[in-house]
Amino acid sequence: MPSETQEELMERVKKMTPEELLEFQKNRCIFCQIIAGKVQSKKIYEDDKVFAILDINPANPGHILLMPKEHYAIMPQVPEDILGHLSTITKKICNIALKALGAKGTNVLIQNGVAAGQKSQHFMIHIIPRMENDGIGLFLDRKQITENDYNTVKGRLSSKVNEIFGIEPDVKEADIINETVKDIEDADKELAKENEEIEKLQKEIEGEKESERKPQPETEKEKKELENPKEEAKDEDKDDDAESNTPVEEEDSDDDDDSGDNGTNLDDIAKVLGVR
């Protein structure tokens, strides 16, 4: 397919059914070929479900890639039993890395999606043996966030977690979540209103400016101040777009409207990986 441009390919991928997409990804997946024995690798473990090889570009000696034999692009697609099996093998490999290589620790890292640093389109678990002061930057840079932001995220995430696990939150909890969601909605509405007013004001200012035909330095300043809320308004628009082309599971998100609707379509994440 060398004559196909990236855009054309993306178009083609977008039109594929999930089955076609899976087949398409499998054919292009180097790890599927490694598992099938068509490409050489340093295999260190294999059973009927999973496969582990040494990474040829390791973060540290002994860096292992553990993956299911079946092709999955990201973790949410992996069946529960396979994931469970992968976790026990992960533990086993960590144990061996500590003993065989004299590692002083191990990192287990899963990357879901290109934004998370995923480079292959085959789901895998990185197991990285660590030595003291080996200079690998896998530490977490913690930030401070405002209580408001924290509660927003917690409200949205909690209600979705409950939905996925099928948990009925107790009444008190549900109230709290609903209140938070309501607060968020109210804040959004207020923001939208403010933005409208600001736009109005801006138009008036511009109108005045034209009538006076003399640009006032003050208005320039005001304009700058007004830029921030405007940007937020743009962000909101984007969110709305995302909502409209997110067809996933609309039936089960009902009463907690806002909380569940601006999510990401997992298929899109998988599709992007298919093209790379």
Residue closer to other proteins (CB basis): 153 or 201:
153
Residues 191-250, interacting with other proteins (CB under 8 A): 239, 242, 248-249
Instruction: Tell me the window of 3-11, 19-27, 222-230, 256-264 that interacts with other proteins (CB under 8 A).
Output: 256-264
What character string, x for contact with other proteins (CB under 8 A) and - otherwise, covers 155-194? -xxxxxx-xxx-----------------------------
Cα(72)–Cα(21) distance, integer angstroms: 11
Binding test (CB under 8 A) with other proteins, winner from 260, 270, 271, 274 = 260
* Cβ nearer to other proteins, comparing 62 with 274: 62
Q: Whole-angstrom Cα distance, residue 100 to residue 62?
A: 10
**Three-state DSSP state, 39:** coil
Minimum separation from the CB atom of position 255 to other proteins (A)? 14
Q: Is 50 in contact with 124 (CB distance < 8 Å)?
A: no
Query: Which CB, 36 or 138, lies closer to other proteins?
Result: 138
Measured from the CB of residue 271, what is the shortest distance to other proteins in angstroms?
12
Which CB sits closer to other proteins, 201 or 248? 248
Find the binding residues for other proteins in span 8-37 (CB under 8 A): none
Positive or negative, the CA dihedral 92, 95, 100, 106 is positive
Evaluate the CA torsion angle 233, 234, 238, 244 in order and state its sign: positive
Considering the complex, what minimum distance in angstroms separates the CB of residue 44 from other proteins?
Answer: 4
Binding residue for other proteins, selected from 75, 191, 205, 226, defined by CB under 8 A? 75
Cα–Cα distance, 3 to 24 (Å, whole number): 17
Burial class of residue 170, CB neighbours in 10 A (0-12, 13-18, 19+): exposed
Q: Specify the residue, 134 or 199, whose C-beta has the smaller distance to other proteins.
A: 134
Amino acid at 243: E
> For residues 121-140, which are near other proteins according to CB under 8 A?
128, 130-134, 136-140
**Position among 9, 28, 58, 232 found at the interface with other proteins (CB under 8 A):** 58
Residue 138 in contact with residue 107, Cβ under 8 Å? yes
Output the CA–CA distances (angstroms, integers) from residue 195 to 38, 202, 222, 225, in the order listed: 59, 10, 14, 12
Contacts of 261 (CB under 8 A, 6+ apart): 243, 246, 253
Applying CB under 8 A, the span of 12-20, 43-51, 182-190, 210-218 interacting with other proteins comes to: 43-51
Residue 217 CA from chain centroid, whole number? 44
Q: How many residues bind other proteins (CB under 8 A)?
A: 95
CB of 256 to other proteins, least distance (A): 9
Residue 141 in contact with other proteins, rule: CB under 8 A = yes
Q: For residues 92-121, which are near other proteins according to CB under 8 A? A: 92-101, 104-118
Calpha distance 124→137 (Å, rounded): 20
